[in-house]
Amino acid sequence: MEGLIIPLNHVLILASLLFATGLAGLMFRRNVIFILMSLEVMLNSAGLAFVAAGTAWAQADGQVMFMLILAVAAAEVSVGLGLVLQVHKRFKTLDMDQAHKLNG
Amino acid sequence: MLQNIWLIPLFPFVSSVLLILTAGQLPRRLIAIMGAGSVGLSALVVLAVGMQFMESQTPYTLTLWVWMQIGNFAPGFSFYVDQLTVVMMSVITGVGFLIHLYSTEFMDDDSDYSRYFAYMNMFVAAMLILVLADNLLLLYLGWEGVGVCSYLLVGFWYKDPVNGAASRKAFVITRVGDTAMALGLFLLFTELGTLQIQPMLDAANSRWVTGDTIPAIAALLLLGGAVGKSAQLPLHTWLPDAMAGPTPVSALIHAATMVTAGVYLIARTHGLFLLAPDVLMLVALVGLFTLLLAAFTALNQTDIKRILAYSTISQIGYMFLALGVGAWSAGIFHLMTHAFFKALLFLGAGAVVHCLHHEQNIFKMGGLRTKLPVVFWSFLIGSAALAALPFTSGFFSKDQILLSAFELHGSTGISTWVGPWLWAGGLVGAIVTAIYSFRLVFIVFYGEAKTEPDRQPGWRMAGPLSLLCVLSLIGGYFVLPLESVFPAAAEHHVSHLIEGISISIPLIGVFIAWLVYYKRSLPVEGFTESGFGKALRNFWYSGWAMDKLYDTLLVNPYTGTANAMRGEWLDKIYHGVVSLCQGLHALLSKSQGGKMRWYATSMVFGLIVLVTLVGWAS
């Protein structure tokens, strides 16, 4: 192990901050594109935590999980963008608060 | 042929079941052929059975199967044929077929063609079971069957709530009588151990003597059923409202067949009634009061069908009078002739209503004599028979009834003083009958035209009308072979004066109607517009305020109590549960606002709360 070693805690704090940023974006943003971006940020923060943990314990599992998260994120974005197109077509807006037809 | 009598109720029953199962998917032509044809086939079988029966003349019993077996009680699904049954079956299938044929045209505009014929055929089947039954339980099955079909057909045009109310009224009021009749059956069974009519009557005769209490109670209970079904005092108020149904229904059910079931029941169990002379006298009095009350009411009605309804009540009153004075065959004879001429009148009224855009008020008609000639002649002949003008069918039957009443013999065998009074009451009824029936003719068919007919009856309506015209004219010459069923009627030895009075009374009535409603030379308006006259007229118009009486005495207290009970505490608990569920539901459905960000935020906060709790706990 050469060079500067970043402590695990620091990485986890960074990941938490990223996650909180994403979550805040999900909760407070109304534009659906930004909501999708916030989701990406949250997924990647989880991925970062996995990679850091895997490195800290010298195990490959963290990397494997990160690959899985990448695949999930890619699938999610393709489906999500498809939905965004449909929402735009139907409601002529990207504001998710306007698209509340499914109310009880 | 006699072993094939089961075919008679089977044809209409099968047709009805098929029509119900196909739910109106069949072509109209086929529905008409099935509906009318099945009754026609039954009529043919009745004809064949009747022919053969005239030769053998011995009662015949056919047991199809044992209906149920409970201890000693094993009523069979079995039919009993004697002369009375043959007469009743001929009326039901014969008149029934003509009315079905007429209906195929009358109901042509109706979208529920199939449902109509399904109910009508079911009615005919139930009515045939009623008259064929050899035990009182099977008779009761037919009795209730016709009640249900009557309910369904009165409320046939169910989209109007008024019709629904009328059918409920008919059902509930007849149910009062039916309950009495059921109690009568229980009493007879516990006392005599059988419900088979002939053995039961024999057992009653050997067990009790005339004047005993138990046969009187049993007869009284059976009379209750008969009074309900035949719309006699005090249970007659349902029949005028039952006119809400289609007119052929009124002709078949509420004039020719079902309402005479009570007369049939008393005639069938006459052995029991003979053991209770007091009840028999009550039958006569019920008949007399009903016929007077209904006749005076008919005199004031303005709706063509209600006039005929009250007239039916009045004529059945005559039949009850006949039964009450022991003139059994005269009663059944009047039942038959009444079926002919009243079916004719109802079908004629139906044709008038059909051709005049559903107008039923007689004062908006007029001058139809030349415009609807077929209907005019039918109505004239029907009214003549109803008024008992000489040589029409109604004359012979009504004359027999009145003469039997005049010569009423008490239980000691000598004429009683009641007889002439019954006779006089019957005569008053007869004169009023003549007035109201010709009032109808003069107002509807003479005078100036007020509504133009927009069509003429076709052959399927005109044909049955003409046949019924013939029957109403010659029906009086039929000789019913009822001697072996009923005790022999006494020969009438009355003076020429009495005979003359019975012949002239209807003529006087027609003359009065002619003076008042055609010539308008009798100033009756002066009387009817005066204070007393107006009050009397309104009183008679409302049917002697019987409906109002029942409303005040029974209906309003009942609905009032029901409404008062609505708010009691047990109900409040259940209402509380209901409101709680509704409140929770409203709350939960508010949280489902369809806003995605709100869902996400709630999830986050829920997660935070959960994690915090878990952290605390560990």
| pLDDT tens digits, one per residue of B265-308 | 999 998 888 888 888 888 889 999 999 999 989 888 888 899 99
Shortest CB distance from B595 goes to which of A28, A35, A97? A97
The answer to whether B593 faces chain A, any CB pair under 8 Å, is: yes
CB B489 within 8 A of CB B328: yes
The whole-number pLDDT of residue B491 equals: 65
| pLDDT tens digits, one per residue of B48-101 | 988 888 887 788 888 888 888 888 888 888 898 888 888 899 999 999 999 999
The answer to whether B588 faces chain A, any CB pair under 8 Å, is: yes
Contacts of B83 (CB under 8 A, 6+ apart): B53, B57, B480, B481, B482, B484, B485
The verdict on a CB contact (< 8 Å) between A27 and B604 is yes
Residue B453 has φ and ψ, to the nearest 5°, of -70, 140
C-alpha span between B550 and B545 (Å, rounded): 9
> Which residues in chain A are contacts of B597 at CB distance < 8 A?
26-28, 30, 35, 96-97
C-alpha span between B280 and B155 (Å, rounded): 35
pLDDT along chain B (618 residues), means of 10: 85 93 87 91 91 82 86 85 89 92 88 90 93 90 92 91 90 91 92 86 86 88 91 88 90 88 91 86 90 89 90 92 87 91 91 83 80 87 89 86 79 64 89 90 83 80 89 83 74 75 86 83 72 80 82 88 82 91 91 83 92 92
The whole-number pLDDT of residue B542 equals: 80
The answer to whether B587 faces chain A, any CB pair under 8 Å, is: no
Greatest pairwise CA separation for chain A in angstroms: 59
Contacts of B536 (CB under 8 A, 6+ apart): none
Kindly tell me the burial class for residue B245, based on how many C-beta atoms sit within 10 Å of its own C-beta (0-12, 13-18, 19 or more): buried
Q: What is the mean pLDDT of chain B?
A: 87
CB B297 within 8 A of CB B310: yes
Shortest CB distance from B592 goes to which of A26, A27, A104? A104
Report the 10 Å Cβ neighbour count for B394. Answer: 30
The verdict on a CB contact (< 8 Å) between B595 and A23 is no
DSSP string, B282-335: HHHHHHHHHHHHHHHHHTT--BHHHHHHHHHHHHHHHHHHHHHTT-HHHHHHHH
C-alpha span between A61 and B466 (Å, rounded): 102
Tell me the β-bridge partners of B73.
B70
Interior angle at CA B529, CA B525 and CA B532, nearest 5: 120
DSSP string, B558-573: HHHHHHHHTTSHHHHH
CB B476 within 8 A of CB B392: yes
pTM score > 0.80 for this model?
A: no
Contacts of B511 (CB under 8 A, 6+ apart): none
Interior angle at CA B102, CA B122 and CA B1, nearest 5: 55
The verdict on a CB contact (< 8 Å) between B594 and A97 is no
C-alpha span between A46 and A39 (Å, rounded): 11
C-alpha span between B398 and B319 (Å, rounded): 9
Q: Is ipTM over 0.85?
A: no
Span A38-60, mean pLDDT? 92
Please check the confidence at residue A3 and state whether its pLDDT lies above 70.
Answer: no
| B533: its two tokens | 């006259």
Pick from B584, B597, B603 the residue to mutate for testing the A interface (most A CBs within 10 Å): B597
